[in-house]
Structure formats: C-alpha cells, structure tokens
Amino acid sequence: MDALQILDLLDESRERLLVAIAPLPDEALERPGVMGDWSVKDILAHLAAWESELVTGLMHINQGQKPARMLEAFQRVDEYNAERYAENKDRELNRVFDDFQNVRLQLEQWLEEFSERDLTDPNHYPWSRGVALAHIVKENSYGHEDEHLPAIESFAGRWVAEHGPAEENLQPDE
C-alpha cells in the first residue's frame, strides 16, 4: 500500500464521518452520550489528538528518529485518552473542529514523504516490532475514525429522528 492508497482511504473515512455529522446542530455535537459520557465534539478531539501524535511520530521517523512519544502513548492508551479528554472537554467546538480538519491536512502532507517500502515493510523500522507503518497509520487515522463512526451514526440518527436536521444544513429547493 502506497501513500496514494492511504490518502484515498483517509478521504473516504473522513467523508463518511462528515456526512454522519452534517445534519447535527452544534447543540447535538456537544451533547454527551454518544460513547459513554463523550459527545461528538469529544470524539472529534480524541481523533484529532491521536492523529496529531501520528503526525509528530511521522515527523520524527522522517528525521531518522524513533517516535518515542507516539510509542509511549500506545503503551498507555486509557491514560492518554483521559488526559486528552480533560484537556479538550471545555474547548470551543469550532476550535476542536479546526484542529480535527487541520491535523488531517498535516497527516496527508507527511505521508507523501514516505515510500511504499517505508509504509509496507514490517521490518523497516526496528522500533515497530514487525508492524508496518501503514498499519500504524491506519489504526491512528482512518481505521480509528471507522471505529467510532457507528456510535456517531447511531447518535445522529436518533437526534434527527427526534429533532430533525439542523436548520443551517437544510438547503432550499432550487
């Protein structure tokens, strides 16, 4: 799998997520209960945090360094998630959404720095313990979005059934 294939998968997963949240007003995006106490906003912040770790990791890898911080986060997922939730729970929705979109752009840019061998050879990076970089990218980006998408879709379906779609997202017939 080369960078272009990964970029396609990134675009597809992001499109599915954006379609799922499109009918939701801000009030719904900030309502807890999508996954436990988390809102859609919290999930977007969570996804952005992991992609940010990935981007930083790719930067270090591209510079010939071990992505120590990313690997540490992998070792303490629950603690990392709790820390990022605490950091982001009171942030404004617009800022969370901007981060969510901008980190994806950074990820796409960094992926272009890696060859197919860099991405697919599970033994290319000794620190990866036999896991291809493409798999690490998947698990912390488009695969991660796909993991959370069913809960978001379910919540969005319930919200729209009860409240209707967000008024600002309704387009007049032309």
Helix ranges restricted to H, the chain: 3-21, 26-29, 40-62, 68-75, 77-88, 93-111, 116-120, 133-139, 142-163
Nearest to 137 by CA among 145, 129, 149, 148: 145
- Determine, yes or no, domain membership for 59: yes
172 inside domain: no
Q: Number of structural domains, the chain?
A: 1
pLDDT along the chain (174 residues), means of 10: 94 98 97 97 98 98 97 97 97 98 98 96 96 98 98 97 76 45
Which pLDDT score is estimated for 73? 97
Whether 89 is in a domain gets the answer: yes
Residue 7, domain member (yes or no): yes
What domain range is 108 assigned to? 3-15+28-166
pLDDT at 168: 56
Query: Dmax over Cα atoms in the chain, in whole Å?
Result: 58
Does residue 96 sit within a domain?
A: yes
CB-CB contact of 46 with 57 (8 Å): no
How much is the pLDDT for 62? 97
Specify the CATH number for the domain of residue 104. 1.20.120
Cα–Cα distance for residue pair 172/137, rounded to 1 Å: 40
In a domain, 23, yes or no: no
Instruction: Kindly state the tokens that stand for 2.
Output: 């080369």
The C-alpha atoms of residue 82 and residue 105 are separated, in whole angstroms, by 25
* Paired residues of 66 in beta bridges: none
Which amino acid is present at 60? H
